[in-house]
Structure 1
Amino acid sequence: MPVKVPASLPARGTLEAENVFLMEEPRALQQDIRPLRIAILNLMPTKIATETQLLRLLGNTPLQVEVTLLHTASHEAKNTPAEHLLEHYVSFAEVRDQTFDGLIVTGAPVETLPFEAVDYWPELAELLDWARTNVFSSLFICWGAQAALHRYYGVPKHPLAEKLFGVFPHRTLARHERIVQGFDDVFFAPHSRHTETRREDILAEPRLELLAESDEAGVYLIQSADRRQVFVTGHSEYDPGTLQGEYARDLGKGLPIGIPKNYFPGDDPTREPLVRWRGHANLLFANWLNYFVYQEAPFDLGLLPVEGRQA
């Protein structure tokens, strides 16, 4: 997928080296098509790494995508240069009157806090409510998925006895659904979290459908009954070395952390991690963009068929 990104975005050099199809704005304007407008609310502290991971996956289908990077105005990022945010990000207030084909909300390292104790929760809650009327399809990742499930459906998150950390096998529960088209019988995905969404809470909500789960990692993939919202509890977007970096970080801080499961060959942290989730990640994002966004969103985004908006 040709993704429109500015030449100054740090991710550009990385993705060009990987032969990901990127497009500068002058060339994009010459194409007589309407690009998919995708907003990404990046809540991760490592914003540059996360935006690179997501743009890599958005660049893997033959559609043109125009990405708008969002940050929370009510929270000061401590790990990303202010100049980067000023040049490449906008706040929710700046897009409040706009409409988008798709929205991605990332995870965030705040999962042990009650939702309402997160300093930017009021802003996030407002954005989630706005997405009902101004976004056709939304994809929520890890804590972003927990936050959206809580806001939209009252689904709680539950603390785990220890951090769920590693790469785990999952199985598909509903093969007829388009978001899981092409998934293997068993597929792998990374997880890194201290809380969980429980199966019984999802099954008790008739407006939600559980699509994939893991014996060890639990609930993984959920969609809303109208197929306008997708919730992913893991991190399929992670780079090969992301869990390795988190492991080294926590060890350095003296935090209780085990070796990430099913990640290092022979559980030996001196060896290169074994990547088993790349194919799944590309398929998940491609299915979302194709079946949930491109095939369904109206050409005129002013005609979004969502609650609260008049067609």
Structure 2
Amino acid sequence: MPIKIPIDLPAYTVLSDENIFVMNIERAQTQDIRPLQIAVLNLMPIKIQSENQLLRYLSNTPLQVEITLLQTKTYTSQNTPIEHLKKFYKYFDEVKNKKFDGLIITGAPVETIEFEDVAYWNELEEIMEWSKKNVFSTLHICWGAQAALYYHHNISKKALKKKIFGVFQHRVNKINEDLTRGLDDIFYAPHSRHTTTSKEDIEKNENLEILSESEEAGLFIIATKDKRQIFITGHLEYDRDTLKSEYLRDINNGKDIDIPKNYFPKDDIKETPMVRWRGSANIVFGNWLNYCIYQNTPFKLENIE
């Protein structure tokens, strides 16, 4: 089954051109099936790009998925047309009385700011608290993962001397876990962050498990034992050129930043970056939708608790 999104959302054309099966809402309404209700709290500055990336992997499943895009009310993106936000996004107040099978909380470029100093922190706290009883499984990405570990489990982020930036090898810690099922023993994933989470802090928490990590990049996939909360410290959803765009942006802003590791052939920025994480991204997002949500979520959304 396809992903269910408005036909005029930019991702509809992008994914259709990639031969990914997307279905407009009008056609989906004729099918006698309950789609998975997935909300995406998009905290990334360039929201259309982030939509395309996430919807690409949420669509690679036999399940029908209906997406609700969320934005914060306490901070409005300066890098996305306001018309797009008004047309396709909702505020939390509009959905807080609903329940969802899944929720994705994206990363955000605010790592160097204390959590409580982020403009929308109070609103994010409200959403994360709401997710505990109104969402069956929540997937947190990069800064979103660090924010959730801090809020739910009192685990603080730690500043790095140098940004973790590039594509890194990871290993699977538990090969029989549903979320990592099908991943190679060694697989690749992009990272782009100035902060990290201590392995020791995670291991002290009896409800958390480390499912994957990297010798260079540190912890990668962390989850509660019931998989109701997933924390991914990197960016499996990134496109081929996302790290390149971030690198050129920082260089143009006069920042001292290294070329992303293991990304450009021969570290030549004129070369086309190699994508080595697409298969792993398809597996992890597919496993989350299938094993962590579809196989366990109540058929009646109102029974989520």
TM-score in terms of structure 2 length: 0.99
Q: Partner residue of 2:22? A: 22
Alpha-carbon separation, structure 2, partners of 1:300 and 1:12:
28
Secondary structure, counterpart of 2:169 in structure 1: strand
Q: Partner residue of 1:223? A: 223
Secondary structure, counterpart of 2:179 in structure 1: helix
After the TM superposition, which residues 264-279 of structure 1 pair with which residues of structure 2 at under 5 Å, given as runs? 264-279=264-279
After the TM superposition, which residues 91-130 of structure 1 pair with which residues of structure 2 at under 5 Å, given as runs? 91-130=91-130
Alpha-carbon separation, structure 2, partners of 1:245 and 1:117:
27
Alpha-carbon separation, structure 2, partners of 1:113 and 1:26:
43
Q: Partner residue of 1:83? A: 83
1:9-57 CA deviation, whole Å, 9 max, x = no partner?
Answer: 1111111100111101121111111000000000000100000000000
Residues 1:47 and 2:47 aligned together: yes
Q: Partner residue of 2:38? A: 38
Secondary structure, counterpart of 1:124 in structure 2: helix
Alpha-carbon separation, structure 2, partners of 1:131 and 1:101:
10
Alpha-carbon separation, structure 1, partners of 2:233 and 2:203:
16
Counting aligned pairs with the same residue, the percent is 56
Verify the 8 A CA contact 2:7 2:25 in the aligned structure 1: no
Alpha-carbon separation, structure 2, partners of 1:26 and 1:157:
44
1:134-183 CA deviation, whole Å, 9 max, x = no partner?
Answer: 00011000000000100000011000001110000000111121101001
Unaligned runs of 5+ in 1: 307-311
Alpha-carbon separation, structure 2, partners of 1:26 and 1:190:
36
Alpha-carbon separation, structure 1, partners of 2:189 and 2:159:
20
Residues 1:300 and 2:303 aligned together: no
Report the more deviating stretch, 1-10 or 226-235. 1-10
Alpha-carbon separation, structure 1, partners of 2:7 and 2:175:
40
After the TM superposition, which residues 250-261 of structure 1 pair with which residues of structure 2 at under 5 Å, given as runs? 250-261=250-261
Alpha-carbon separation, structure 2, partners of 1:172 and 1:55:
25
Alpha-carbon separation, structure 1, partners of 2:139 and 2:215:
23
Amino acid at match of 1:253: N
1:188-243 CA deviation, whole Å, 9 max, x = no partner?
Answer: 00000000011111101111001100000000000102221111000000000000
The Cα of 1:71 is off from its aligned counterpart by 0.2
Residues 1:71 and 2:71 aligned together: yes
Q: Partner residue of 1:155? A: 155
The Cα of 1:8 is off from its aligned counterpart by 1.3
Amino acid at match of 1:104: I
Unaligned runs of 5+ in 2: none
Q: Partner residue of 1:309? A: none
1:100-132 CA deviation, whole Å, 9 max, x = no partner?
Answer: 000000000001111000010000000000000
Secondary structure, counterpart of 2:211 in structure 1: strand
Cα RMSD, aligned residues only:
0.7
TM-score in terms of structure 1 length: 0.97
Alpha-carbon separation, structure 2, partners of 1:19 and 1:229:
31
Alpha-carbon separation, structure 2, partners of 1:12 and 1:63:
17
Q: Partner residue of 1:165? A: 165
Q: Partner residue of 2:133? A: 133
Alpha-carbon separation, structure 2, partners of 1:23 and 1:269:
37
The Cα of 1:295 is off from its aligned counterpart by 0.5
Alpha-carbon separation, structure 2, partners of 1:256 and 1:72:
31
Alpha-carbon separation, structure 2, partners of 1:148 and 1:92:
17
Which aligned runs of 4 or more in structure 1 are off by greater than 6 angstroms? none
Alpha-carbon separation, structure 1, partners of 2:135 and 2:272:
40
Secondary structure, counterpart of 1:179 in structure 2: coil
Alpha-carbon separation, structure 2, partners of 1:25 and 1:191:
34
Q: Partner residue of 1:194? A: 194
Alpha-carbon separation, structure 1, partners of 2:166 and 2:26:
42
Paired positions, count:
305
Amino acid at match of 1:78: Q
Q: Partner residue of 2:57? A: 57
